[in-house]
Amino acid sequence: MDWIEQTVSRKAEMLGDLKGLLAIKSIHDAETAGPGQPMGAGIAEALHYMLSLCRAEGFRICNHDGYVGYAEYGPEDAEHYIAVLSHLDVVPVSGDWVTPPFEPDIRDGRIYARGAIDDKGPAMASYYALKIVKDLGLPLKHRIRLIFGTDEERTHQCMEHYKKLEPMPACGFTPDAEFPIVCAEKGQINTRILFPSGPEQPQMAGEFELVTFHAGVVANMVPEAAEAVVAGDKDRLMALELAYQAYCSDIGLRGSVSHGDQNIKLQLAGKAAHGMEPQLGVNAGLKLIHFLKDYAWNGGAGHYLNTVDTLLYEDVYGHALGIAMEDVISGPLTVNSGLLQYEPQGETFFHINLRFPICGNYDEILDTIQATISAYSLEIEPPSLKKPHHVPEDHPMIRALQDAYTAETGQKAELFSTGGGTYAAHFKMGVAFGPLFPGMESTAHQPNEYMEVELLLRSAAIYARAIHELGNLML
């Protein structure tokens, strides 16, 4: 079977359907949330769009209260089903885009839009993979179920809802990482480290007042922008501005200064990256704090700036927090501080999005963090936790996916791990499988996100072959 020929012959149709999906602004929206659309109107529209495509194709569909939906094909009386899990929600938009993020544009062999690679393009590739298997009338021993989630970028409520209502699959994969096969995922800890607020803040006298400080828009992204509003004597503010301009020049980042009646606003542009790989980004918040910490501040600002700088600056592996660790299977622990805020009359905190290897234990990690930050009079907010996940290499699904990948690419299908948190970890025998090939750039969560059209077609071909093999797996 020439699987790539099958996908290429459907290229125009596939791109048309994908454009329709990418045009939907499926960002979590609490203001439009309600019965049947718990994540908001946009995400509900995206789920309806995909399920409508699947219904028209003749797949059996189900929508569980707007949290999650699925489409199924294969013998209805089959005991087992194989899951292919993708998500339709996307992260918020930030940064400068060449074309509007929800007006998909194809140029230079790429389709640009928010969600193109994470995860709407792969979701559409999976849908067409199953469609190809159906169109060809290929026999299946097991049911194949395409599961469409709606809250992957936040709390995975969708999958928790699904697990309450549905039996678990025999095995499955999510097209939301990289090829060849991600058989291990790091655990995660997401929490805020809270500073004393209001009159409980340490009170110091200094030359400047930090009116506010903000960096980041979501916890699982490296902040690409930060701003600080600073008040003080006019001459001292002028000197601060000149020093800031020199600092920006020295570190090679773009900074700007705007003037108010009694203050100035310092803004800094860093480089966004996924929270699972903070070493690939430039945290604008931490860079701006590193500049500000050397000045004398009124109130509790000095405590905030120096503490954050000590615990986080240029330390994505958790050495200062005392939690650095790594193992052979899943690599090193990483720490991303995606949200930083100083508000003298409100909340002052930094958020940590922490990914730890299989060898780690989150209770021990939290205990160590608490011991470290207690010296700074800080507290940990109750965290959200995710256990590490690992599928043994001798599982028959692993072999089937390796065979499918090697047959379609001619390359050896190595096993590796990720710091990302995918849907695979919700099922005992779940892995991540594509869509990016080794060495390819990932623009997930970044401005001008894209998926190469050739990658869309090639991944659909691999998924079609894999679905056929998994659908007939000896379990």
- Where b means 16+ CB within 10 Å and e means fewer, 103-135 reads ebbeeeebbbbbbbbbbbbbbbbbbbbbbbbbe
Would you call 89 a catalytic residue per the annotation? yes
Backbone angles phi, psi at 266, to 5 degrees: -100, 125
Backbone angles phi, psi at 473, to 5 degrees: -70, 145
Can you tell me the distance from the alpha carbon of 294 to that of 286, in angstroms, rounded to the nearest whole number? 13
Q: Using CA atoms in the order 54, 56, 57, 58, what is the torsion angle rounded to 10 degrees? A: 90
Would you call 176 a catalytic residue per the annotation? no
Please give the structure tokens belonging to residue 143: 């049911």
Please give the structure tokens belonging to residue 219: 């916890």
| 424: nearest Cα among 389, 374, 472 | 389
Distances (CA, A) of 210 to 10, 60, 291, 312: 58, 58, 13, 20
Query: 376 Cβ partners below 8 Å, 6+ apart?
Result: 303, 307, 311
Residue tagged active-site, from 152, 153, 178, 185: 152
CB count within 10 Å of CB 62 equals 14
Can you tell me the distance from the alpha carbon of 243 to that of 249, in angstroms, rounded to the nearest whole number? 10
Residue tagged active-site, from 17, 72, 89, 185: 89
CB 418 within 8 A of CB 185: yes
List the catalytic residues.
89, 152
